[in-house]
Amino acid sequence: NQKQSFKADSSRKNFGVVIVNFKHVQQQVSAKLETWAKNIQKVFADKLKENMTKVHADVTAARVDFEHRSLDGTTEESMVTLQSIRELREKKAEWGVIVETFVKGQSLLQKGQHTFDDDWLDADNVQSNFFALEDAIAKKNDQLKDKMQALQETVLEESRKYDRQVEQLLSDWAKNKPLKAGSASQAIGAINIFEQRYGAL
């Protein structure tokens, strides 16, 4: 590397009667290179720490929220869980690449004998948290395989029920819509009733 190129076997060079001593120059150059290397390392470590902290928080929030999702509740709750599984599958692929980069980045700093801050978030912890999210998704996937048919049947039945309710509402409206002569308050009252029934669907 650059530093090693300045480590000559001899710190002196003879040019006839003139003797040049390179030792002092070598020390200055080596010190400058060492300072530059440490500064670059510090900038890299700070950026890595910032990114690891953010991704770790994002993964933790996603995992905690997902672990409270259920496929055993109402149809609506099950559908929300199903949507969460789909979304996290996409995020998982992206986070997996990023977390692997964190591990390699920390390893690089360790090889460079970097002095980590006391509040440094170890990349192994970030990776373990990500693995916990993967496990949670895998478990929900297994549950989903067992419940998919029943869930599809429930959704289909509720869809049919909703269609029947809409048909009934439209039929009632056709029969009872306020077209006959009467007071405005009666017409408004009838409309309000049908609006409430529609909103309750």
Q: For Cα atoms 152, 133, 95, give the angle at the middle one, nearest 5 degrees.
A: 105
pLDDT at position 63: 94
Tell me what the pLDDT averaged over the chain comes to: 80
pTM: 0.61
Sort 150 into a burial class: Cβ within 10 Å, 0-12 / 13-18 / 19+: exposed
Closest CA to 71 of 149, 151, 6, 131: 151
Range of weakest confidence among 45-49, 86-90, 138-142, 197-201 = 197-201
149: pLDDT strictly greater than 80: no
pLDDT per residue as tens digits for the range 27-44:
777 778 777 778 888 999
Range of weakest confidence among 41-55, 133-147, 166-180 = 166-180
135: pLDDT strictly greater than 90: yes
CA 72 – CA 86 distance, rounded (Å) = 18
16: pLDDT strictly greater than 70: no
pLDDT at position 161: 74
- 3-state SS of 27-91 is HHHHHHHHHHHHHHHHHHHHHHHHHHHHHHHHHHHHHHHHHCCCCCCCHHHHHHHHHHHHHHHHH
pLDDT at position 50: 95
Please indicate whether residue 118 or residue 148 has the higher confidence score (pLDDT). 118
Contact call for residues 123 and 55 (beta carbons, < 8 A): no
pLDDT per residue as tens digits for the range 52-104:
999 999 999 999 999 888 878 777 787 888 888 889 988 999 999 999 999 99
pLDDT at position 43: 92
pLDDT at position 158: 72
pLDDT band, residue 2 (cuts 50/70/90): very low
Q: Which amino acid is at 19?
A: I
